[in-house]
Amino acid sequence: MLLLRNLAFYLVFYLGSVVYVLSAVASIPLGARALGWVVDRWCCFHRSCARLFLGIRVRLEGAPTAGAALYAIRHESFFEAIDAPCLFDHPVPFAKRELFRIPGWGRAAEAYGCVPVARDEGARALRAMVASARTYSAQGRPLVIFPEGTRVPHGERGQLQAGFAGLYKLLGLPVVPVAVDSGPLYHRRLKRPGTITYRFAEPIAPGLPRAEVERQVIEAINALNAGSPAA
């Protein structure tokens, strides 16, 4: 039964995603509102498929803060990456530049306002990211980053990418760490039923030394991992 439910999820979600990506590209000439609506519908479609076929539900502990902020989210699976527009109002995700090469998706992501992350281009890339992030933040959009830079198995602690501290310093925004425990359920292949929890921590004020802000972020994003077995 579990295998059949997974097959149904993959079939319906990925075939449906092709339609949504094509719709997103087609909506670009219609403006940001139309594109944003398509992206929101796609994320809601993903949550619905996860609930209907996989038996996965979502629980929130806390909520996004009022005002501009940089949200640092624990990264255990693709679930939280796809789910961001369900958590925030028109968020601005930081995404690996390689993802922008995906046909259709990359064009829509760029038009939507995703910020490409080029890890191997140093200070120049960081300045470009900061400039884009400031523009979007001034529009009232929340900034979303996965500071570990890659998925980390549940129960393990990853290291924060060096660029996170640079963004924190240059943006001058509070950071809101968000813990998530999607790893045990939303595996790369066989996904399992249960509840995925997001836990929003208290905002961390701007201006802290690098070591201190990194310590606080690491502690907060791993809050749901204590005592849990690795996936």
CA distances from 195 to 56, 90, 124, 198 (A): 6, 24, 41, 10
Q: How confident is the model at residue 177 (pLDDT cuts 50, 70, 90)?
A: very high
Average pLDDT value over all residues in the chain = 92
Cβ neighbors of 79 (< 8 A, separation 6 or more) are 50, 56, 180, 182, 185, 186, 196
Question: Per residue in 65-119, pLDDT tens?
Answer: 988 999 999 999 999 999 999 999 999 999 888 888 888 889 999 999 999 887 6
Q: What would the mean pLDDT of 116-136 be, rounded to a whole number?
A: 82
